[in-house]
Amino acid sequence: MTDIPLNGIANGTVARPRRDIGLKRRYAAERRFRIYGVLAISVGIVFLAVMLVTIIGKGYTAFWQTTATLPITFDANVIDPENKRATDPNVLITANYPKLAENALMAKLGINPDDKVAARKLKGFLSDGARAQLRTMVTDDPSIIGTTRNVEILVAANIDSAFKGQIDLSVDESRRKVSDQQVTWMKQLAAEGSLAEHFNKGLFTFGASSRPETSGMGVAIIGSFYMMVIVLLLALPIGVAASIYLEEFAKKSRLTDLIEVNINNLAAVPSIVFGLLGLSVFINFLGLPRSAALVGGLVLTLMTLPTIIIATRAALAAVPPSIRSAALGLGASKMQMVFQHILPLAAPGILTGTIIGLARALGETAPLLLIGMVAFVADRPATPLEPSTALPVQIYMWANEAERAFVERMSGAIIILLIFLMAMNITAIVLRRRFERRW
C-alpha cells in the first residue's frame, strides 16, 4: 500500500501536462455571459422602478388639495343689490359670488374692506371655482341668503402649491408666482386652522377646466368606463364566437387561412391606423358624433378583438380531445359539445385574455386622439353618445399644459390609471395561475 499511488512523479513517470483546452477562459466567458443576462434583466426592472418612483413622487400630492374654510355671509346686498330676485331668476345666476368669498376672507384676515391694494392682492388667493360653488349653493336653496355658513373653498393652484411646499420661497418675490403677502396670509390662515389639506375629491369628480384646482378626471373616468363596457359587450361575444368557429368548426380552406392571417396581422397593426379607420368609417361615413365614447368603444373593440380571439383559440385548443370524444360519445351534438363542455373548461383562459385585452384598450391613447376625444369637456356625459374624454387622453391633455399644478394632476391621473391597469393585469396573472390546468 503506497501513500501516494496516483502521483506520477513519485512513480518516476512523467505525467503529460493536461492539454490546455482553455477551461479558465471558457468559464470566465460563462460568468461574463451570465452577468450580461442579469444586467439585461436589471435594466428593465431598474427602469420600471425609476419610472414608477418619479411618477408617484410627482403625483401623490395631487390626492390632497388645500381648501380654506371660511364663514361666508350670503349678503343680500352683494347677491341681489336691487332686490329683484323674485321677478328675475337671472339675478341669482349672474350675481357677484366671488365677492362673498373675498369679503369673508378679508374679515378673517382682518383687512380693512376699503384697502384697495390688499383687495387686489387677495384676488388671486381663492380659486375662481368659488363662483360656481357658491352659486350652486344659493340656487339650490335661496333661503340661504342672509345667513352665514362655513364653506370649504378651494384656494388657487399657486397657493395650493405653496402650501404643499412645492414652491421655493427663497427665490426673489418677482420671480415666483406667490407674493410674500400671500404667503403671510397663507401662514396666518393655516395657524388659525382654516387653511388645511383635504382629500382631493374634485380630482375624481370635476371635468375639464382651465384652472388646475377645479379640473379633474370625472369626465375621463366616465368616458373610459363607457368604452370599457362597450368593448366588453362587443368584443367578448364576437371574439369568442369567432374563435369557436375557427377552432372547432372551420375546415381548413382558403377562407379560414385568410381569416387566420388577417387576425394575426390585425393584432400587429399600429393602433393609430384603427383611429384613422374610426374617423373615416364611424364618423365621416356613418355619421356618429365626434368625441363620443360610443365611437371610441367601437374603435377599441376592433383593436381588442384580435387579442381576445388569439387568447380564446389558445384556451380552446388546450382542452384535451378526450373531453370532446367523451361528449360526442354520449350523444351530444357538436354544438352541444362546444357550448356545454369545451367552453366552460376554456373559460379561465378566455377570461385572462379578455382582461389583458381590456387593460390594453384602457391604456390606449393614439386612436382616441383622432376621433376627437381630445376635447374640453366640462360636463359629465350622460350617455355614450355625448362628448367625453378618456383617462389616457386626459393625461395627454394635461401633459400639454404648462402650469406646475397640471403636472401634479397629470401624475396623479397616471397613478390612478396604473392602479386600474395593475389591478387588471394582476387579476389576469392570478387567474391564470389559479386555474391553469395541466391535462
Partner 1 sequence: MSLMLVFAAVLAIGAVAFFVGRQRALVQDDGKVKPHSRAHYHGWWAFLLATMPALLLLIVWGVGSNVYLQEHIKSQLPMQTADSPIASEKLAASLTTSLANGLRRLDPQTAANPPASFAELQPQLAARGVALAPDTQDYMIPIAVDANRMQDRLSLIGAILILAVSIGGATLGVSHVQVRARARNNVEKLVLWGLLGASTIAILTTIGIILSLLFQTINFFERVPLTNFFFGTVWDPRFAAAGSGGSEGQFGLIPLLAGTLYIALVAMLVAVPVGLMSAVYMAEYASPRVRAVVKPALELLAGIPTIVYGIFALVTLGPFLRDLSAALAGGTGFIQAQSVFTAGLVMGVMLIPVVSSLSDDIITAVPRAMRDGSLGLGATRSETIKRVILPAALPGIVGAILLTASRAIGETMIVVLAAGVAANLTANPFEAMTTITVKIVNQLTGDLEFNSPQTLVAFALGITLFALTLVMNIFALYIVRKYREQYE
Site for partner 1 in 52-71 (CB under 8 A): 54-55, 58
359 is written with which cell numbers? Answer: 387593460
Residue 29 contacts partner 1 per CB under 8 A? yes
* CA 190 to chain CA centroid, nearest Å: 33
SS3 assignment, position 215: coil
Find the part of the chain contacting partner 1 (CB under 8 A) among 32-40, 108-116, 119-127, 345-353: 32-40
Q: Are 264 and 306 in contact (CB under 8 A)?
A: yes
Q: Which is nearer to partner 1, 59 or 98 (CB)?
A: 59
Cβ-in-10-Å burial (0-12, 13-18, 19+) of 107 comes to middle
Total chain residues near partner 1 (CB under 8 A): 88
Instruction: Pick from 8, 10, 15, 37 the residue near partner 1 by CB under 8 A.
Output: 37
135 is written with which cell numbers? Answer: 352659486
273 is written with which cell numbers? Answer: 391606423
Q: Which is nearer to partner 1, 123 or 334 (CB)?
A: 334
Residue 412 contacts partner 1 per CB under 8 A? no
45 is written with which cell numbers? Answer: 426592472
User: Rounded CA gap, 246 and 248, in Å?
Assistant: 6
131 is written with which cell numbers? Answer: 363662483
Nearest distance in Å: CB 150, partner 1:
36
* CA 170 to chain CA centroid, nearest Å: 35
Q: Considering only residues 129 through 188, tell me which ones interact with partner 1, judged by CB under 8 A.
A: none
Q: Which is nearer to partner 1, 277 or 405 (CB)?
A: 277
Alpha carbon separation from 103 to 145, 155, 207, 259 (Å, rounded): 15, 15, 28, 70
Q: Considering only residues 294 through 333, tell me which ones interact with partner 1, judged by CB under 8 A.
A: 302, 305-306, 309, 333
Q: How many residues does the chain have?
A: 439
Q: Considering only residues 267 through 286, tell me which ones interact with partner 1, judged by CB under 8 A.
A: 268-277, 279-281, 284-285
Q: Which is nearer to partner 1, 98 or 275 (CB)?
A: 275
Q: Which is nearer to partner 1, 138 or 355 (CB)?
A: 355
Q: Considering only residues 210 through 249, tell me which ones interact with partner 1, judged by CB under 8 A.
A: 237-239, 241-246, 249
Nearest distance in Å: CB 138, partner 1:
23
